[in-house]
Amino acid sequence: MTTTLGKYTLIRKLATGGMAEVFLARADGPMGFAKKCVVKRILPHFNDDPRFTEMFLGEARLAAELNHPNLVTIFDFGQHNGQYFLAMEYIDGANLRVLNQATRRQLGPMSLPLAARIIALAAEGLHFAHELRSEQGEFLNLVHRDISPDNILVARNGSVKVVDFGIAKASTQPHLTKSGMIKGKMAYMPPEQLAREPLDRRADLFALGIVFYELVTGGMPFDATSEVSIIQAIMSQKPLEKPTVYRPDCPPDLEAIVNKCLEKDREKRYASCVELQADLEAFIKRSGETVGTREISQLVETVFAHEADQTVPNAVISDPDLEGLASTNPSQKSAERIAAPSPRDVGTGSGMSSTALRSIESAAVQRSKTPLFVGIGLGVVVLAAATWFALRPGTVPVKPVVVPPVAVVIDAGPPQIADAAVALAVVTPEPDAGVEEELDAGVAVAVRPVVVKTGKLELRIRPYATVFLDDKKLGDTPLPPITVSVGKHKLRLVNPAFGKDVELNIVIKPGENIVKHNLKE
């Protein structure tokens, strides 16, 4: 049944998140007028929450000022039958992550001048946002804070647009939610954002540099397989890996541009997006290639000529919890790279681990001056407190005490994390049938590990393949690490371009399991 929201007809749902849902829609007018758009509305149970409606309204107020060809336009905010909604322009295309993956599957690495043009256009849109002033003429010092390939859209007409200013803030405002969670994608955050320092536009330049690095090399500028190792890589004094490590044909002048964006000391980065754009334009000119919206359009049309269903209008819409839109997968890795985990949004309801949060808190204090230690001290305190409350003086019935899992992370060289599935559990005596046992507060408490029945499967397939696990299709590589039950499994790798259809028998053990296979051999 067709659903309407004011003058908008909701055609199909694109995604649902923790706060809102997003629809492909049609704006209907007199005499048969109709125009496609995208509508985002607050979930019903949040409509009466003043905090969420104010956030929603704040997003609309901000977006109304962001009128630029390289920024997605939000043109309407309204309420219908108690439901608040935003309406924004429809972009027929794909986000930059999807485009990069599809290009690499079909054509190989993206042309360097073309990648530079896409980043230059995104920088132009960001510069407009960074220069935004209030009605009184004062700089708002706006910072996007969530630049990633998912938040840069590339349309079939060749336009490039930055989207998702839903968590943008001025540098003078705190960038944490009330719950103390940092919002954004951790893999794209500069050190100062992880350390909860005041932000300026150079935070977006760092994130845009990582996006550029992905376009050039197909991977991330650090080897990291967990939230904690990502934090360690970004916060440490060790420089991020240079593009030529994985893309030898990257010329020195382009590598210098990427490296300047990725400086961990923001004083050494580009001071503005317009400076970055100028260097990119100069590189494109030196390359001798003509690269503009026409060439970008041709690329999109070429790679999606037979994959029209893979283009998603407005692929990310201002909600860190949107399933299928804001979740991110690593780009295609070069042959020898360690696949990074799926860079996830962190924020309310995002599922960032407490271990990672404690790592950030530690980093905020030390800022890379000492190794990162996250010990079991907090877990011991929690266990002791839980035990005391459960077994405080007096006679109480025996009840299991639930203690949350405690992960132990020790920096003893390379980034590592102990098995987070090991939990602390209180062992209580078995009561006799029909009799409620009583336990004195002085009885000792034992600790035992919980049996781990799953493992993580990481696939490193050269050059790429469609993956089936036990006859269930998982998708095309690269894929984030997959949770799989321990035991024997059948892995099938299909690559029509090389005429390969390979079956492998694998055994999954608790912890990390890595499967490498070269389909060219």
Q: List, by residue number, the catalytic residues.
A: 146
Cα separation, 322 vs 55, in Å, equals: 16
For 256-324, the DSSP string reads: HHHHHHT-SSGGGS-SSHHHHHHHHHHHHHHHT---SHHHHHHHHHHHTTT-GGG--TTS--S-TT-TT
What are the beta bridge partners of residue 456?
483, 512
Which of 469, 458, 514, 457 is closest to 493 using CA atoms? 469
Cβ atoms within 10 Å of 448's Cβ, excluding its own: 11
Tokens of 21: 């849902």
Cα separation, 333 vs 246, in Å, equals: 9
Instruction: Put residue 64 in one of left, alpha, beta given phi > 0 → left and psi -120 to 50 → alpha.
Output: alpha
What are the beta bridge partners of residue 269?
none
The H or E element containing residue 28 is strand 20-28
Burial class of 311 by CB neighbour count within 10 A (0 to 12, 13 to 18, 19+): buried
According to DSSP, the β-strands at 511-518 and 454-462 are parallel
Burial class of 137 by CB neighbour count within 10 A (0 to 12, 13 to 18, 19+): exposed
How many CA within 13 A on the CB side of residue 61? 9
The H or E element containing residue 501 is strand 500-508
Residue 488 CB contacts under 8 Å (≥ 6 apart), including other chains: 505, 506, 507, 508
